[in-house]
């Protein structure tokens, strides 16, 4: 892969310049990706860390697993309620954990 292709695959085609909110265009044999927002969607931000979705943590049935990303966030310089809300999105696993 050339340097130009590496830059294009990591930066995408720009905001709303493709069929999706964010797109990575076709490069060689790589068909490209359509990027849309999700519960963990990162939009127009720098220096962002994304953790797994809450439903994935709950599906492990490991009671310690969902707390790992929250501990990481707590070690950061800012920690808000909004950041903690993303980890457990269903009330059943929230009550168990």
User: pLDDT digit string (tens) for 47-66?
Assistant: 666 667 777 777 778 878 77
DSSP 72: H
Structural domain for 15, as ranges = 1-36
User: pLDDT digit string (tens) for 28-46?
Assistant: 888 888 776 665 655 666 6
Structure tokens at 2: 């050339």
From residue 64, give the alpha-carbon distance in Å to each of 70, 72, 96. 11, 13, 11
Are residues 23 and 51 both part of a single domain?
Answer: no
Strand residues in the chain grouped as ranges (E): 22-24, 33-35
Are residues 19 and 61 both part of a single domain?
Answer: no
Are residues 20 and 50 both part of a single domain?
Answer: no
Are residues 90 and 63 both part of a single domain?
Answer: yes
Three-state secondary-structure class, residue 5: helix
């Amino acid at each position: 892969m050339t340097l130009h292709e590496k830059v294009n695959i990591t930066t995408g085609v720009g905001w709303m310049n493709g069929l999706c909110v964010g797109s990575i265009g076709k490069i060689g044999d790589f068909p490209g990706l359509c990027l849309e927002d999700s519960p963990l969607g990162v939009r127009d931000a720098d220096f962002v860390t994304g953790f797994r979705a809450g439903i994935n943590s709950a599906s492990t049935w490991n009671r310690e697993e969902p707390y790992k990303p929250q501990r990481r966030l707590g070690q950061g310089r800012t920690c808000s309620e909004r950041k903690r809300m993303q980890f457990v999105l269903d009330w059943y696993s929230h009550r168990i954990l």
